[in-house]
């Protein structure tokens, strides 16, 4: 009995051991892997970005591959990342050797910014830069201190171009996402402008308006030059109105310089204009009419009493000058007319005896009043121009004078001076710049009384 009982107990023990062994060797008997989570103190920020990486779970050890080629161990590690998009991987290992891993992403950003070396106040300038690592569509803000200077977004490669108006000198920074650029210094030149206001014509009202912007950029110094010489110098703050002398023709140069305050670049501007003789036609007014009358009179041309505008009486004087100078008989005072005034042809009488006489030049269509053997006065005329009509040629003498109007078969003559037969020098309301009479010598109505009063009976009249 004892022997049998002992055998039964041994058999039971063997069965228990085998059962335990079977449980150990069965597939469902392996230990579960450890749990692990990872966090980072700052998932994005300005490079270099210092972060703390923390792993938590039920593992015994933690090892890190930090993504930039470096490694670390421990549940919490500190690391500094350069510019880039990094992925840190932590491997958690349990006491029985089971392991698990997880990852966390870190974005360490850099923004670059480039500005032009110099900008002009108020003008648009373009600043460029890029966000790294590249990301499209990220808002970018440019600021100068507390002032927003411009806004934009990054392109597909992370680059950006932002246009802004140049303000006061200073440092511009760009902010994109979590990064801020190094300051980019923008040197600013104040804006100096010169506006020529008025008419650049002889005796015109012409001024130079010189401005400096902004007001705090400094002060102005303005110089006006003619023929390379300074004729006027003025100084002022931010606005100077300079009257310009237009009494003589020629080029005027206005030069302005800014005496800039600290921080501003030097600035200057130059403008010029040429004071020219004006173009004047019948019915127009011009400040230069007075000089025009005076210059024609000084050259011996008959000129009517002054008028506020270019009237038809003065047109006669203009025609006379054009005839003698060989200009087109337009009756318009244009640049060619003024040029001839500066260098005119001075006619001489064909005959020197008698010393005082009258000459009618049919080719030129003018009458010369000769006094002392010289041409004293030049009067426009119109001789025969109608078909079958002629003005006689030769030397004659005044034999009859009629004061006022004298009726004739061919019309009424005003203050006529008859020099042969029915031919006379007389006033007529129409004295075109070409031959148009029946045969007499027409002169303007306003000059006829003077001719009548200054030429007596017997005065020689040469017609050629």
Distance separating alpha carbons of residues 255 and 270, to the nearest angstrom: 4
pTM above 0.75, yes or no: no
Dump pLDDT digits (tens) for 147-184: 999 999 999 999 999 999 999 999 999 999 999 999 99
Dump pLDDT digits (tens) for 361-392: 999 999 999 999 999 999 999 999 989 999 99
Distance separating alpha carbons of residues 388 and 406, to the nearest angstrom: 24
pLDDT at 161: 97
Q: Which residues of the chain have pLDDT under 70?
A: 1-30
For residue 116, give both structure tokens.
């032009």
**CATH number for region 191-275:** 2.60.40.1930
Place of tokens 């004087």: 317
Question: Listing from the earlier edge strand, what are the strands of the sheet with 267-275?
Answer: 229-236, 218-226, 250-260, 267-275
CATH match of 115-188 with 1.20.120.1200: no
**What CATH architecture does domain 357-463 belong to?**
Beta Barrel (2.40)
Show the 3-state SS of the chain. Answer: CHHHHHHHHHHHHHHHHHHHHHHHHCHHHCCCCCCEEEEECCCEEECCEEEEEEEEECCCEEEEECCCCCEEECCEEEEEECCEEEEEEEEEECCCCCEEEEEEEEEEEEEEEECCCEEECCCEEEEEEEEECCCCCCEEEEEECCEEEEEEECCCCCEEEEEEECCCCEEEEEEECCEECCCEEEEEECEEEEEEEECCECCCCEEEEEEEECHHHEEEEEEEEECCEEEEEEEECCEEEEEECCCCCEEEEEEEEEEECCCCCCEEEEEEEEEECCCECCCCCCCCHHHHHHHHHHCCECCCCCCCCCCHHHHHHHHHHHHHHCCCCCCCECHHHHHHHHCCCCCCCCCCCCCCEEEEECCCCEEEEEECCEEEEEEECECECCCCCCCCCEEEECCEECCCEEEECCEEEEEEEEEECCEEEEEECCCCCCCCECCCEEEECCCHHHHHHHCCCCCEEEEC
Q: List residues bridging with 406 in a β-sheet.
A: 413
Closest CA to 142 of 112, 174, 178: 174
pLDDT at 241: 97
Do domains 36-109 and 115-188 share one topology? The answer is yes
Which residue ranges make up each domain of the chain?
36-109, 115-188, 191-275, 289-342, 357-463
- Terminal Cα distance for the chain, rounded: 186
pLDDT at 409: 82
pLDDT at 30: 59
Distance separating alpha carbons of residues 235 and 219, to the nearest angstrom: 8
**CATH number for region 36-109:** 2.60.40.10
User: Running DSSP on this structure, what letter comes out for residue 183?
Assistant: P
């Amino acid at each position: 009995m004892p022997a049998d009982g002992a055998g039964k107990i041994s058999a039971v023990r063997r069965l228990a051991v085998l059962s335990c062994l079977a449980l150990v060797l069965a597939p469902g008997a392996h230990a579960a892997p450890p749990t692990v989570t990872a966090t980072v103190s700052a998932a994005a920020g300005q490079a270099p970005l210092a972060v703390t990486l923390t792993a938590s779970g039920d593992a015994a050890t933690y090892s890190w591959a930090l993504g930039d080629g470096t490694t670390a161990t421990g549940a919490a590690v500190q690391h500094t990342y350069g510019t880039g998009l990094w992925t840190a991987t932590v491997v958690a290992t349990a006491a029985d050797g089971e392991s698990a891993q997880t990852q966390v992403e870190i974005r360490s950003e850099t923004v670059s910014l480039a500005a032009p070396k110099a900008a002009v106040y108020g003008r648009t300038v373009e600043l460029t830069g890029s966000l790294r690592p590249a990301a499209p569509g990220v808002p970018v803000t440019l600021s100068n201190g507390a002032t927003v200077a411009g806004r934009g977004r990054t392109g597909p490669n992370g680059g950006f171009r932002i246009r802004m108006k140049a303000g006061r000198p200073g440092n511009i920074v760009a902010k994109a996402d979590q990064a801020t650029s190094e300051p980019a210094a923008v040197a600013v030149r104040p804006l100096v402008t010169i506006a020529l206001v008025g008419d650049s014509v002889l005796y015109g009202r012409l001024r130079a308006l010189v401005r400096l912007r902004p007001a705090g950029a400094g002060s102005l110094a303005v110089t006006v030059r003619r023929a390379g010489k300074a004729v006027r110098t003025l100084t002022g703050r931010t606005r100077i109105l300079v009257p310009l002398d237009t009494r003589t023709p020629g080029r005027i140069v206005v030069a302005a310089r800014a005496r800039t305050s600290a921080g501003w670049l030097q600035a200057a501007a130059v403008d010029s204009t040429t004071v020219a003789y004006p173009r004047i036609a019948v019915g127009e007014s011009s400040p230069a009419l007075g000089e025009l009358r005076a210059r024609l009179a000084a050259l011996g041309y008959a000129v009517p009493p002054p008028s506020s505008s270019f009237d038809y009486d003065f047109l006669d004087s203009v025609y006379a000058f054009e005839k003698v100078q060989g200009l087109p008989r337009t009756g318009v005072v244009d640049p060619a007319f003024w040029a001839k005034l500066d260098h005119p042809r001075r006619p001489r009488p064909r005959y020197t005896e008698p010393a005082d006489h009258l000459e009618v030049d049919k080719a030129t269509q003018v009458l010369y009043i000769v006094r002392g053997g010289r041409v004293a006065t030049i009067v426009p005329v119109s001789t025969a121009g109608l078909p079958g009509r002629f003005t006689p040629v030769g030397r004659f003498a005044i034999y009859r004078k009629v004061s006022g109007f004298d009726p004739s078969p061919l019309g009424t003559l005003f203050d006529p001076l008859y020099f042969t037969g029915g031919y006379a020098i007389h006033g007529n309301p129409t004295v075109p710049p070409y031959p148009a009479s029946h045969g007499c010598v027409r002169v303007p109505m306003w000059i006829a009384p003077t001719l009548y009063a200054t030429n007596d009976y017997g005065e020689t009249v040469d017609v050629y």
